[in-house]
Amino acid sequence: MTTQTSIRDNEARYTLKAENTWFHFQKLDIEFGQELKDLIDYYTPIVKTIEPGSMFNIVGAFIEKDFFPKYFNGSEVSSVCSVVAPRNSVGTIHSDTMIVDEATNQAACLALQIPLWGTENTDTIFWESSDPEPTLRKTTEGSQGRHNKKINEMVMEKHEPGYLIPKRYLCKEVARCSITSPYLINVGQYHSIANHNETQRAVLSVRFKSDPWHWLS
How far is CA 164 from each of CA 31, 112, 158, 192, rounded to the nearest angstrom? 34, 20, 19, 12
The structural domains of the chain, with segments of one domain joined by +, span: 14-215
Q: Which residue, among 170, 51, 45, has the nearest Cα to 60 in the 3D structure? A: 45
Could you read off the pLDDT tens digit of each residue along the chain, which spans 217 residues?
333 333 333 333 445 455 566 789 999 988 889 999 999 999 999 888 887 677 877 787 777 778 899 999 999 998 898 999 999 999 999 998 776 766 677 778 899 999 999 999 999 999 999 999 998 887 766 555 555 656 656 555 445 667 889 999 999 999 999 999 999 999 989 999 999 999 999 999 999 988 999 998 6
DSSP-derived pairing of the beta strands 201-208 and 71-72: unpaired
* Contact predicate 98/78, CB 8 Å: no
pLDDT of residue 129: 93
pLDDT at residue 29 in the model = 87
Q: Give the pLDDT confidence score for residue 107 in this predicted structure.
A: 74
**Cβ atoms of residues 36 and 114 within 8 Å:** yes
pLDDT at position 24 is 92
Best CA proximity match to 91, nearest among 56, 43, 58: 56
Determine the Cα–Cα distance for residues 8 and 53; give it in Å rounded to an integer.
29
Please tell me the predicted confidence (pLDDT) of residue 145. 52
Tell me the pLDDT tens digit for each residue of 104-138.
777 788 999 999 999 999 999 999 999 999 988 87
pLDDT at 142: 57
CATH of domain 14-215: 2.60.120
